[in-house]
C-alpha cells in the first residue's frame, strides 16, 4: 500500500471518507444547566456524544464574565434548536427568558467591568476598548 502523504491541504487519494452522524433532536429535549452547557459544549445531553477527546468536561471558573458567556451560549444553543423546531413553544419561551437574562447580565457586566464588545465603548465618555485587561483575559483570583 503506498504511503499516504499530507500534500499540503489537498485530500490524498488514500484518505478514508468520514461518516458524519448528527442525531435528530426530538421536541422538548432534556437540557443542561447554563454552566454545565458551557462546560460540555452543548445545551443538550443528547448531543453530548461519547467520542470527545476528553472523557469529562472541565470546569470553567465561575466569574461574572463566564456567567455572561454561559447565558450567551445557552441562548445560541436555543436559537439553533429553534431553527429546526420553530413550533416548540417551551423552547421559544426559554429563548425569550434567556435573552432577557443575557441583556441584564451584559448591562451589569459592562457597568461593573467595562465593555465586552467594541460597540459598547460608544456609550462611554472615552474610548476604553484597549484598556487592560481585555474582557476575555482571565486573571487568576480576579473577576475577569
* pLDDT of 134 over the 90 cut: no
HSE at residue 118, side-chain half, CA atoms within 13 A, is: 1
pLDDT in tens, 40-81: 888 888 887 765 555 555 667 788 888 898 999 999 999 999
In-domain check, residue 9: no
Provide the pLDDT for residue 1.
Answer: 45
Provide the pLDDT for residue 40.
Answer: 81
* pLDDT of 16 over the 80 cut: no
In-domain check, residue 6: no
In-domain check, residue 17: no
Distances (CA, A) of 20 to 17, 50, 104: 9, 14, 38
Provide the pLDDT for residue 137.
Answer: 64
Structural domain count of the chain: 1
Range of the domain at 70: 26-123
pTM (predicted TM-score): 0.62
Angstrom distance (rounded) from CA 93 to CA 82: 11
In-domain check, residue 37: yes
DSSP 48-106: --TT-SSSSPPPPP--HHHHHHHHHHHHHHHHHHHHH-TT-HHHHHHHHHHHHHHHHHH
Amino acid at each position: 500500500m503506498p504511503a499516504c502523504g499530507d500534500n499540503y491541504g489537498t485530500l490524498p487519494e488514500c484518505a478514508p471518507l468520514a461518516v458524519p452522524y448528527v442525531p435528530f433532536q426530538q421536541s422538548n429535549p432534556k437540557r443542561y444547566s447554563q454552566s454545565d452547557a458551557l462546560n460540555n459544549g452543548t445545551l443538550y445531553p443528547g448531543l453530548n456524544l461519547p467520542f470527545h477527546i476528553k472523557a469529562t468536561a472541565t470546569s470553567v471558573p465561575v466569574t461574572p464574565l463566564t456567567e455572561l458567556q454561559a447565558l450567551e451560549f445557552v441562548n445560541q444553543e436555543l436559537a439553533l434548536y429553534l431553527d429546526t423546531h420553530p413550533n416548540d413553544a417551551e423552547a421559544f419561551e426559554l429563548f425569550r427568558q434567556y435573552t432577557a437574562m443575557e441583556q441584564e447580565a451584559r448591562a451589569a457586566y459592562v457597568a461593573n467591568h467595562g465593555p465586552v464588545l467594541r460597540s459598547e465603548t460608544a456609550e462611554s465618555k472615552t474610548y476604553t476598548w484597549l484598556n487592560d485587561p481585555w474582557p476575555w483575559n482571565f486573571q487568576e483570583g480576579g473577576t475577569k
